[in-house]
Amino acid sequence: MKTKTFIMFVGPSVFLMFLFIAAPLVSVFLQSFQVTQGVFEEVIETKCTPGFPAQICTEEASVRRVLDDDGNPVSQTSWVGLDTYRTVLDPDAVSAAFDEGGSGWSQLMTIDFYKALRFTLTFTLITLPLVIGTGLAIALAVNRCVESLKGPVIFVSLLPFIITPVIGALSIRWLFIGDGIMTALLENWTGQDIAMFAQGWTIELLMLFYRVWHVAPFAFVIFYAALQTVNQDTLESAIIDGASRWQRLKYVVIPHLMPLIIFVALIHLMDCYRVFEEIIGFSSQAHVISLQWLTFDYLTPDDSGNRAISRAAANSMLTMIGIVILLIPLLRRTYRDHKNSSH
């Protein structure tokens, strides 16, 4: 391929990636080291009473926002280095939690970042094997299904993945909140009052269930397509040699699917570590928060209309670092397999 032709094909993609990925990433990185604050000034106001026969005047000092010539609030940006990261990570509070007299883990969970990090890691690492296992189980079941039922079974299996994430989360919430259908059934079955949204651990269970229910069809589609390419001669040889169904799965099918298992794991880790829809859909902010929701909370204007942009940027960078750390083992495995296959 000629260089000019290559540039014509690749150039637009590289430009868009720089414009919408690289440039915003650099901007967020720089903002994490800066603090933007409004400029205020002290104003002395004279107030007089309409008293008779003489007025009484007093001077009162007040602070107000400085406005420019167009009436817009004036802000100033200052370079603060790692101070924003110290504010988010709060190392002094972490040290106090584990010093003598501190309550340790329970006190650590009162700090927003570590509370969000704990849930994000738990949510990601628990749902990962469940999504892969459920998707593989459905793919194996559909692959052995009779031809006349495969179409309807595939259609039903894909429905959870088609639903918009927030709508799906709201649907699960409505089933269990208050007098929802599932809550009523459980109360009739157990004879006890059930409040699934009164404590954090039950909300987390519902979130885990929803994520697996919503994402497992994606893994199913990938694995089902790969099952169609399994070497049938190898499977028949394994059957002739007396290999059980489990042995054929372990030594023939799974090694064949391993590159795609790693691919699904990579996609799931990147997506799940940025969990946000479940927090909004289940309205769990009082009990459970995630790193992505914490960034959203920093960007929400406070009562005075200010946004903690620097803390949101720092939290975003820490979230990205966490994703990279989780992906390193899988990327090393992928690189090692590619290197071995090329020799």
Domain borders along the chain are: 105-342
pLDDT, residue 1, reads 62
Q: What is the pLDDT of residue 342?
A: 65
Q: Do residues 138 and 157 touch, judged by C-beta distance below 8 A?
A: yes
Q: Which tokens sit at 158?
A: 């894909």
pLDDT of residue 312: 92
Token pair recorded at residue 42: 């002290």
Q: Match domain 105-342 to its CATH number in 1.10.3720.10, 1.10.510.10, 1.10.3430.10, 3.40.190.80.
A: 1.10.3720.10
3-state SS, residue 301: coil
- Number of Cβ atoms within 10 Å of the Cβ of 292: 19
pLDDT at residue number 52: 66
User: What pLDDT is recorded for position 198?
Assistant: 81
DSSP-derived 3-state class of residue 45: strand
Tens digits of pLDDT across the chain (343 residues): 677 787 888 888 888 888 888 898 999 999 899 887 777 777 777 777 776 677 777 777 777 777 777 777 777 778 888 899 999 999 888 888 888 777 788 888 888 999 999 999 999 999 999 999 999 999 998 888 887 788 888 888 888 888 888 888 888 888 888 778 888 888 888 888 888 888 888 889 999 999 999 999 999 999 999 998 888 888 888 888 888 888 888 888 888 899 899 999 999 998 899 899 889 888 888 889 999 999 999 988 877 667 888 999 999 999 999 999 999 988 888 888 777 776 6
CB-CB contact of 31 with 5 (8 Å): no
